[in-house]
């Protein structure tokens, strides 16, 4: 309900352009000089994050080699954390480019990483058009943030 009733303040500015915003307020789990990980405020599944370049760009072909390396490096580390600490059964990793492909934010390219467990989908989305998230967003944020700080500096 929070998402569908808000006034969508992000239409005026890009929520992925984090600059020097507070990490916790912005749900930034990890930052490098060229890329970062941010929790999805309206997740598809528990632990749903986005990995994005620091630069505000809209296409894969505009990524610099170092951005590609950092983005994939963060995805690799996330995969290990999700498998070891969250005991996931699988991961959905993908990029939606353009509105026709389902991009909610076309102007700033980002990779979705969605942890999956057997049985994590249920009748709620079908019957009630509602998603059930089993852990509070900030609880998951704290776990991921702590793990990145402990193991990846």
Kindly report which listed range (6-15, 45-54, 107-116, 123-132) carries the lowest average pLDDT score. Answer: 123-132
pLDDT, tens digit, for every residue of 67-94?
A: 999 999 999 999 999 999 999 999 999 9
Catalytic choice (48, 108, 110, 112): 110
Taking only Cα atoms into account, the Rg of the chain, rounded to an integer number of angstroms, comes to: 15
pLDDT at 5: 52
Show me where the domains of the chain are located: 2-152
From 133, 152, 2, 7, select the one nearest 70 (Cα to Cα): 152
Q: Does domain 2-152 have CATH number 3.30.428.10?
A: yes
**How far is residue 40's CA from residue 106's CA, in Å, rounded to a whole number?**
16
Total-model pTM:
0.80
Is position 48 annotated as part of the catalytic site? no
């Amino acid at each position: 309900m929070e998402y569908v009733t808000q006034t969508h303040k992000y239409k005026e500015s890009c929520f992925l352009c984090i600059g020097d915003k507070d990490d916790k307020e912005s749900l930034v789990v990890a930052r490098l000089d060229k890329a970062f990980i941010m929790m999805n405020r309206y997740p598809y599944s528990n632990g749903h994050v986005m990995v994005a370049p620091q630069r505000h760009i809209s296409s894969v072909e505009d990524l610099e080699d170092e951005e590609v390396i950092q983005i994939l490096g963060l995805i690799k580390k996330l995969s290990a954390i999700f498998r070891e600490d969250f005991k996931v059964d699988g991961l959905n990793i993908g990029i939606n480019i353009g509105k026709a492909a389902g991009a909610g934010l076309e102007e700033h390219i980002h990779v979705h990483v969605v942890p999956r467990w057997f049985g994590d989908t249920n009748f709620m989305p079908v019957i009630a058009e509602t998603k059930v998230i089993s852990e509070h967003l900030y609880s998951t944020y704290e776990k991921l943030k702590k793990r990145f700080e402990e193991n990846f500096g």
